[in-house]
């Protein structure tokens, strides 16, 4: 399996080269040349596999430059720190199913991909006798998951930008209390989109990128999308074992990474098994406008109680656009030029095609808190605000023909203030979070200025 760029400007590369490249060298995003197709025979062979064995089967379809025993070892190590033996268990509450993705070390779904990516990087760097400086921007959860994925690893330094004052206190502590020598936390005066723009700009400086062996950990890295494909397939099998032929998923969405993994899973599995994906946004609704009207136009970012979705430019959107444009790279290039120049893309003529895969709804702040409260009162189950956004939209699009699986993307204790506001009490802190506020911490505060960030990096990179 080779990987190509959405913009068509690079020669096809292997999986390991693709994950080491991060963003493609032509500014596009990497994708497999074709999406593999799971057969009905494989469906029966896979149906009772554990999470880890299933992960190996799925990953193996997309990777041909890691031998299977090495892949098995990588998967085992990556999921050994999860607190639930099923890694991503499902629970049935009222009308819906909840897929709990928060049993990893930082209590958000991003651990599922970043534990694996950390180990993949480590293995590749050793094999190539080289090193990497990871650079990423976070709206809260990516940063801590990435840091926990690579902390203490040889051959890797990690630089994470987060918007000062716009991540929850616990999210901040989960990053800044990791004081391993290879971890550099940078708070910036600005928004998440500012951080992401700086990261993109630095990666587009090919001289800087090559000189310092920059590696990406944002959801633009293909390995992140791929790792997330696994739990869609796992959840599908769980519900098939309960007699359901097909399922819908509801996904609280920011950067379009998680839901794009759902899209790949939908194409990977036999037709119709994953019926539709509900794209749930908070009031930052660019993606909801896109799905409902073909209006992909940038608005202002507003802060909400689900900060990991406070995003107006979805970095993985270009991957979906590539399929929407029938894999026509030149059209993708023109679209991205238009979007970058005007902040606006009119895709209304493609609406029918989008509707075959997605439904969407933007969920307000009031609805989010109301959903947390109702879900707690009716089902004695506390959800975090991101999960609540997905549940609200999922309930709206649930049809009688098939189950709706809502992705629980974070543990409620990560967003205790919002939960407290909704139900009048804070969730109990799980052991991973207790005691963080007394721990040592390390972080610098810089302007949202590319040159300043670069010069800080020059002082601290591995070389």
Ligand X SMILES: *Cc1c(COP(=O)(O)O)cnc(C)c1O
Residues at the interface with ligand X (CB under 6 A): 108, 110, 141, 219, 252-259, 308-309, 386, 409-410
Helix extents (H) in 189-221: 192-204, 206-211
- The DSSP output letter for 182 is T
Q: How far apart are CA 127 and CA 66, in angstroms?
A: 11
Strands (E), 18-82: 30-32
Q: How far apart are CA 60 and CA 291, in angstroms?
A: 32
Give the closest residue to 111 by CA, choosing from 138, 147, 86.
Answer: 147
Active site residue 454: no
- Report the nearest approach of ligand X to the CB of residue 330 (Å): 27
Q: What does residue 161 show for φ and ψ, rounded to 5 degrees?
A: -95, 130
* Residue number with CB closer to ligand X (124 or 258): 258
* Residue number with CB closer to ligand X (182 or 218): 218
- Report the nearest approach of ligand X to the CB of residue 127 (Å): 29
Query: 10, 22 in Cβ contact below 8 A?
Result: no
Question: What is the radius of gyration, based on Cα positions, of the chain?
Answer: 20
- Report the nearest approach of ligand X to the CB of residue 102 (Å): 8
- Report the nearest approach of ligand X to the CB of residue 284 (Å): 11
- Report the nearest approach of ligand X to the CB of residue 316 (Å): 7
Q: How far apart are CA 22 and CA 331, in angstroms?
A: 22
* Residue number with CB closer to ligand X (114 or 125): 114
Give the closest residue to 24 by CA, choosing from 401, 32, 309.
Answer: 32
- What percentage of the chain's residues is helix, strand, coil (to nearest 5)? 50, 15, 35
* Residue number with CB closer to ligand X (10 or 31): 31
**Identified catalytic residue from 83, 110, 266, 283:** 110
C-alpha 71, offset from chain centre: 21
* Residue number with CB closer to ligand X (31 or 108): 108
What positions carry a catalytic annotation?
A: 110
């Amino acid at each position: 399996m080779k990987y190509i760029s959405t913009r068509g400007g690079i020669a096809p590369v292997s999986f390991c080269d693709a994950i080491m490249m991060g963003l493609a060298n032509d500014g596009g995003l990497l994708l497999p040349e074709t999406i593999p197709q799971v057969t009905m025979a494989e469906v029966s062979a896979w149906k009772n596999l554990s999470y880890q064995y299933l992960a190996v089967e799925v990953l193996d379809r997309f990777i041909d430059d890691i031998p299977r025993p090495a892949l098995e070892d990588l998967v085992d190590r990556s999921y050994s720190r999860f607190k639930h033996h099923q890694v991503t268990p499902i629970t049935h509450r009222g009308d819906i199913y909840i897929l709990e993705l928060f049993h990893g070390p930082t209590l958000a779904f991003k651990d599922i991909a970043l534990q694996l990516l950390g180990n993949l990087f480590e293995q590749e760097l050793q094999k190539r006798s080289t090193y990497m400086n990871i650079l990423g921007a976070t709206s809260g959860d990516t940063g801590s998951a990435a840091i926990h994925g690579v902390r203490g690893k040889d051959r890797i330094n990690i630089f994470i930008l987060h918007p000062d004052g716009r991540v929850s206190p616990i999210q901040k502590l989960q990053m800044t209390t990791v004081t391993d020598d290879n971890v550099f936390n940078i708070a910036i005066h600005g928004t998440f989109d500012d951080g992401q723009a700086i990261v993109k700009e630095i990666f587009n400086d090919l001289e800087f990128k090559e000189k310092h062996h920059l590696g990406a950990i944002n959801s633009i890295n293909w390995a992140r999308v791929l790792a997330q494909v696994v739990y869609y397939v796992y959840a599908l099998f769980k519900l098939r074992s309960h007699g359901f032929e097909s399922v819908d998923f509801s996904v609280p969405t920011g950067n379009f990474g998680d839901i794009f993994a759902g899209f790949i899973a939908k194409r990977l599995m036999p037709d119709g098994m994953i019926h539709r994906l509900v794209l749930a946004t908070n009031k930052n609704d660019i993606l909801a406008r896109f799905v409902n009207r073909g209006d992909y136009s940038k608005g202002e970012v507003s802060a909400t109680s689900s900060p990991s979705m406070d995003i107006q430019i979805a970095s993985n959107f270009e991957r979906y656009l590539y399929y929407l444009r029938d894999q026509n790279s030149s059209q993708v290039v023109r679209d991205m030029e238009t979007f970058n120049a005007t902040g606006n893309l009119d895709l209304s003529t493609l609406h029918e095609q989008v509707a075959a895969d997605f439904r969407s709804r933007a969920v307000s702040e009031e609805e989010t808190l109301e959903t947390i409260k109702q879900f707690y009162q009716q089902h004695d189950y506390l959800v975090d605000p991101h999960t609540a956004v997905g549940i609200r939209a999922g309930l709206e699009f649930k049809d009688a023909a098939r189950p709706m699986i809502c992705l629980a993307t974070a543990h409620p204790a990560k967003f205790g203030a919002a939960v407290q506001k909704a139900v009048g009490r804070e969730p109990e802190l799980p052991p991973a979070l207790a005691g963080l506020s007394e721990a040592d911490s390390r972080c610098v505060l810089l302007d949202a200025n590319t040159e300043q960030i670069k010069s800080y990096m020059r002082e601290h990179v591995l070389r």
